[in-house]
Amino acid sequence: MTFSNAKFSDAVLAWFDHAGRKHLPWQQAVTPYRVWVSEIMLQQTQVSTVLPYFQRFMASFPTLADLARAPIDEVLHHWTGLGYYARGRNLHKAAQLSCERYAGALPDTLDALMALPGIGRSTAGAILALGFGQRAVILDGNVKRVLARHQALAGDPAKAAVSKAFWALANALTPTQRCADYTQAMMDLGATLCTRSKPACSRCPVQTSCMAYAQGEPTRYPEKQRKQAVPTREAILMIHRQHDQVWMQQRPSTGIWGGLWSFPEWPADAELPEQAEPLPAFMHVFSHFRLHIRPVLFSSRAVLGVSDANGRWVTLSDLPALGFPAPIYSLLQRLGARQEVC
């Protein structure tokens, strides 16, 4: 480690001691399991969004063994509304693999952690540093932003060559001593001071050595390529209702809304039957397309035009045991409010 690298981590650690976050739920009663669950939930998801999900998840699955033996549908129910549902499936699968391979504990090496589904290089580093107290390196959105600005690193970090440079820099700056605190400090720095817009440079512990600050335009970094406008698709959802039940299907485990329960789709270009009663349509936005959802209510006795594969009748009391995409769960609640399901 060079003198300047040690100076960087020392300044970051000194700042952490008086300004870092120390009261987040996963910072209390720290275990590798709790750190792991929090890191998975926090992938591409902000802290404030995760907080209630983490608390509910830990109350239901307090240990890795509890998670491993829980039904997948119950795990996915705890993910309802959180998004990126493959994270929930991978978490469950990795818990079972850990029970089989490592006697109910998480492994404590980078390679073994990365071999588990849902754990990549950065999450493995976070588990080792925060959960096991090892010297390990992370590179999440916060760290990328801090490093890009401090070193005025040009290029889109999504590009492989640029990413390699970011990892090398992150590794060079990560100290051997107090690695857990440094790891938390870098995330805190990115989340609270070195924010995407309006960074609080006046309070930054490494402002004097920050190249982007010296250049006068810190928000220029990190560079990102612009995304093109997303297309809009249409989905007609058939809500077959019989008394207090609706007919639902579990989606395939891969692809959009994998493993979650939804209503059967009616081909967007086909004509609707006479007895179809349209409900208010609404828009659901994904990162890569917009979905115009047109719910249609069928009160007929027969389930029309859908195969019964992966399907079942669902009542209100079934909801806690199943996973749903946010717009479908919202639709179910609206149906319940109309006392059509409940």
Partner DNA sequence: AACTCGGGGTG
Partner DNA sequence: CACCCAGAGTT
Helix H, strand E, coil C: the string for the chain is CCHHHHHHHHHHHHHHHHHCCCCCHHHCCCCHHHHHHHHHHCCCCCHHHHHHHHHHHHHHCCCHHHHHHCCHHHHHHCCCCCCCCHHHHHHHHHHHHHHHHHCCCCCCCHHHHHCCCCCCHHHHHHHHHHHCCCCCCCCCHHHHHHHHHHCCCCCCCCCHHHHHHHHHHHHHHCCCCCHHHHHHHHHHHHHHHCCCCCCCHHHCCCHHHCHHHHHCCHHHCCCCCCCCCCCEEEEEEEEEEECCEEEEEECCCCCCCCCCEECCEECCCCCCCCCCEECCCEEEECCCCEEEEEEEEECCCCCCCCCCCCEEEECHHHHHHCCCCHHHHHHHHHHHHCCCCC
Which of the residues 39, 100, 223, 234 is marked catalytic?
39
Q: Which CB atom, from 140 or from 181, has the smaller least distance to DNA?
A: 140
| Residue closer to DNA, measured from CB, 180 or 206 | 180
| 142/174 with CB nearer DNA | 142
Cβ proximity to DNA: between 121 and 241 the closer is: 121
Q: Which of residues 262-291 bind DNA (CB under 7 A)?
A: 284-288
> 334: Cβ–Cβ under 8 A, 6 or more apart, which residues?
none
- Least distance from DNA to the Cβ atom of residue 219, Å: 9
The single residue listed with the structure tokens 């107290």 is: 133
Q: Which is nearer to DNA, 282 or 313 (CB)?
A: 282
Q: Which is nearer to DNA, 21 or 135 (CB)?
A: 21
Task: Give me the 60-99 binding string for DNA, x by CB under 7 A, dash otherwise.
Answer: ---------------------xxxxxx---x---------
* CB of 46 vs DNA, minimal distance in Å: 5
Annotated catalytic, 39? yes
49 binds DNA (CB under 7 A): yes
CA–CA separation, 3 and 175 (whole Å): 11
- Residues near DNA (CB under 7 A), total: 62
Q: CB 274 → DNA: shortest distance, Å? A: 31
Q: How far is the CB of 324 from DNA (least distance, A)?
A: 8
Closest distance to DNA from the beta carbon of 275 (Å):
29
Site string for DNA, 184-223 (x = CB under 7 A): x--xx-xx----xxx-------------------------
Going residue by residue from 300 to 339, which x/- string records binding to DNA, judged by CB under 7 A? -------------------------xxx------------
Query: Catalytic residue positions?
Result: 39
Give contact residues for DNA (rule: CB under 7 A): 21, 24, 26, 38-39, 42-49, 81-86, 90, 114, 116-124, 126, 140-142, 145, 159-161, 184, 187-188, 190-191, 196-198, 224, 226-227, 229, 255-258, 284-288, 325-327
